[in-house]
Structure 1
Amino acid sequence: MKTLVIYTHPNHQSLSYAFLQKVIQGSGENPNITEIKVLDLYEEGFNPVLIFNENKRRRDMHADPGLAKYREQMIWADKIVFVYPIWWGRPPAMLMGYIDQMFASGFAYKDKGGLLPEGLLKGKSVVCVSTMKGPAHYPLLWLNNAHKVLMKRALFNYVGIKKVKFFEFGNMESPKGRQEEKLNKIYRYFKTLDR
């Protein structure tokens, strides 16, 4: 199983970075994971800004040469892992900019003229590891599960990815947030993951 980890946080002293390290550590000890690549969007200097004009058209985004290496990473991966904080009930703008550009028509899906497109990323699976300051049930009770609906239904299912696992860790800035326990949960999950 080839695994691509997409990390989105500007601070390498953050708890999100500690979760990234546990994903890497557990994956490295898992015999089912043959290769792992990490894409740190901030360290990479990824430009999340969409630009469309007379020279750069939206319909050509699937073939943008500036995004070729990112498309190759996604094609290569069997499993895609996203590690990010939840800010204002959703992923950071940097990650959303990556998603806007990468999950383009002609690469991630193909319109068939009907209600739903053909997902072109079938067979892949996704894990989302996210942290937030608020309580763990805040997204479900206050935001009608907007984060999961956005990521699973509006994005991954749309492009053909049906197997999606979420870890939403709340109270992460609290001294009672059980950070070590949650970090170890991620380590164990990736160490024993079989598909």
Structure 2
Amino acid sequence: MPARIFIWVGHPRAASLSHGMADAYQRGAEANGAETRRMNLSDMVFDPDLTEGYHARKTLEPSLEAWREDLLWANHVCWAYPQWWGGMPAKMKGVIDRSFLPGFAMKYHEKDPFWDRLLAGRRGDVLMTSDAPVWFDRLSNGRAAKLQVQKPVMKFVGIRPARILQVGPVKTAKEATLAKWLKRAERRGADAARRSR
């Protein structure tokens, strides 16, 4: 059975290096037999604010319903986005806040502090860009953005292992460096297609 990969570009702008990385990843995946679906955050229309937390539910907008349907369809996910202020863009986080609700992404136990990971069985890749070198991000921030997506988001709901490909600095990257990063993303997509069959 071919891999089913849901690729989500979490950059709020309609064109970016994140889109290019996702394009390369998708090429690699499809060249190795994967079926893919893709959504771009820039096309999604929704209220990102989980105003009442879990106390009162808002009706999910069509783009959030479609995002959840694509996630359930997939056995592998890939998120491509920039690191901003040590984490993901606010609008991207809004999709997770609104969509990863109890009963869909996880289910808390009534009699103990644990939970069921309702999205278990899926693997995850992350393609993250930054304007800081990866070594500097590691030394100064402990790679906070990597930990944010890997542990309290993906792993919490059962998506694993979340493999992070972080590249940077973007603002000073030469064409040869950009081409190398895109090739790495393409290889990551090819690998995902083979691993998720």
Q: TM (normalized to structure 2)?
A: 0.86
* Match of residue 8 from structure 2: 6
Question: Which of 1 and 2 has higher RCO (CA within 8 Å, sep 6+)?
Answer: 2
Tell me the SS of whatever aligns to 1:178: helix
* Match of residue 103 from structure 2: 106
Is the CA contact (8 Å cut-off) linking 2:117 and 2:158 kept in structure 1? yes
Unpaired runs of at least 5, structure 1: none
RMSD over aligned CA atoms reads 2.0
1:40-81 deviation digits (Å, cap 9, x = unpaired) = 1111224322243xxxx73564x9453433222211111111
| Runs of at least 4 residues off by over 6 Å | none
Task: After TM superposition, give the deviation of residue 115 of structure 1 in Å.
Answer: 2.6
Task: After TM superposition, give the deviation of residue 188 of structure 1 in Å.
Answer: 1.9
Aligned residues: 188
Q: Aligned partners of 1:127, 1:38: CA distance in 2, in Å? A: 14
Cα distance change, pair 144–187 in 1 and its aligned pair in 2 (3 A): same
Q: Which amino acid aligns with 1:10?
A: P
Which residue, 75, 78, 81 being the options, matches 1:78?
A: 75
Q: Aligned partners of 1:174, 1:164: CA distance in 2, in Å? A: 27
Is the CA contact (8 Å cut-off) linking 2:24 and 2:182 kept in structure 1? yes
Q: TM (normalized to structure 1)?
A: 0.87
Is the CA contact (8 Å cut-off) linking 1:59 and 1:105 kept in structure 2? no
Tell me the SS of whatever aligns to 1:150: helix
Is the CA contact (8 Å cut-off) linking 2:131 and 2:170 kept in structure 1? yes
Q: Aligned partners of 2:77, 2:47: CA distance in 1, in Å? A: 20
Does residue 150 of structure 1 match 2:152? no
* Match of residue 54 from structure 2: 58
Is the CA contact (8 Å cut-off) linking 1:156 and 1:162 kept in structure 2? yes
Q: Aligned partners of 2:80, 2:173: CA distance in 1, in Å? A: 22
* Match of residue 22 from structure 2: 20
* Match of residue 169 from structure 1: 167
